[in-house]
Amino acid sequence: MLADGDTALASLLSVHSLAMNGGLLHSIENHSRDQIERAIAGYRYFGLDDAAAVVESVARRAASIDLDADDDAAERLEVDADESYAAVVPDDSTLAASFEQLYERRPEAFSPLR
């Protein structure tokens, strides 16, 4: 069984990796609501509250419109999502720094390496 820190990290990295590859909206569209909620909790676990708020907002907005039927709304949301996410998570070093800070304070939150 994974420790809480490992679970939080895996959840946020799942969303982040797709966001960095194809954009935040693409990531949200390719994760279940449960996976998104776990990722939001993961961002908060690591003190990345602004990133959590962006993911939460974009997920809520994406759920409120028909992305397939309204190309203009989908495009506006995609641009806004990417700009908002890049403002709070400009690159992987943001996540790495949060991980390192938490690990320094609470190494027991992570499973030991074998």
Query: Is 47 inside a domain boundary?
Result: yes
User: How many structural domains are present in the chain?
Assistant: 1
Query: Is 22 inside a domain boundary?
Result: yes
CB under 8 Å to 111, separation ≥6 — which residues? 2, 3, 6
Q: Per residue in 88-111, pLDDT tens? A: 999 999 999 999 999 999 999 999
Which one-letter amino acid corresponds to residue 57?
A: S
The conformation of residue 89, written as its DSSP 8-state character, comes to: -
d(CA 36, CA 81): 15
Query: Is 112 inside a domain boundary?
Result: no
Query: Is 114 inside a domain boundary?
Result: no
Query: Is 113 inside a domain boundary?
Result: no
Query: Is 50 inside a domain boundary?
Result: yes
Structure tokens of 4?
Answer: 């809480």
DSSP H helical segments within the chain, as ranges? 4-22, 24-29, 33-45, 49-64, 71-88, 92-105
pTM for the whole structure: 0.93
Query: Is 62 inside a domain boundary?
Result: yes
Query: Is 81 inside a domain boundary?
Result: yes
| Domain span including residue 56 | 4-107
Q: Per residue in 18-64, pLDDT tens? A: 999 999 999 999 999 999 999 999 999 999 999 999 999 999 999 98
